[in-house]
Structure 1
């Protein structure tokens, strides 16, 4: 009776370890979970929102919201490709939604594809948490 109970606990431990390993791999290699700080993407993304992103995306379209690293911090931006299309395959033209000056809305920041951490697939709004 005791050996059957010990095997049951061992199976439970192995299953829990495999589950935690899969969860760890999914959230470090496939998905991205990050907290939005600042107002650079307001009203699309608000300060404190949680953003779930997909790390394996390689093809970005106009309007995709991406997260990228610049200056040691994570930033969120929208891919903004003009009509003439971006001829440089190594960089993306990125704009923030929150524009204080309408004149600046045509200029986008150039972001290297190596800086991009992923494409945002959904956001989780904070509601007084």
Structure 2
């Protein structure tokens, strides 16, 4: 671009952008990129859920914040999982894996004919009158879940085994609410 000699400087010369505005725009772009990445990570890899029922009391209380991992599909007995049932999000502990035979009788929980030792459970495990019939043989893509607060929770004793596709993820962290 040619400049006139002797012309007015302000009109003929291109104006430089304000460095403060440039820095602000760069910062906003970086912030929006980070927020977008976090949203994608928490949509597809991790999840957050605030507990609103008493199904897992005393181990998980209402108001606690749960972080779960969506990609790990290898489940083991004792894993606490988050799952969807009839449009509701719930927590429970896996007590039996695919191919296992589950029985709940007047003495409690049996898996493959063996009584289960559950040190974190403080209430008796009993079958529901309107629930599934026992013994129950699990399919190749099913797990049996029980909540910790056995007399107040709706779990596999009521609706049967869960398909793996119903499980949203495995819980890896818990933050206590402390009455917040």
Give the TM-score category using the shorter length. 0.7 to 0.9
**Alignment match, 1:123:** 174
Gap runs ≥5 in structure 2: 1-15, 97-110, 114-136
Deviation of 1:74 after TM superposition, in Å, equals 0.6
Query: Do residues 46 (structure 1) and 39 (structure 2) align?
Result: no
Q: 2:164 aligns with which of 109, 113, 116?
A: 113
**Alignment match, 1:93:** 144
Q: 1:12 aligns with which of 9, 15, 27?
A: 27
- In 1, distance between residues paired with 2:53 and 2:34? 35
**Alignment match, 1:70:** 85
Judging by fraction of residues, say which structure has more helix.
1
Deviation of 1:10 after TM superposition, in Å, equals 2.2
Deviation of 1:54 after TM superposition, in Å, equals 0.6
**Alignment match, 1:57:** 72
- In 2, distance between residues paired with 1:87 and 1:37? 29
Structure (1 or 2) with the larger CA radius of gyration: 2
- In 2, distance between residues paired with 1:54 and 1:69? 15
Q: How many residues align?
A: 123
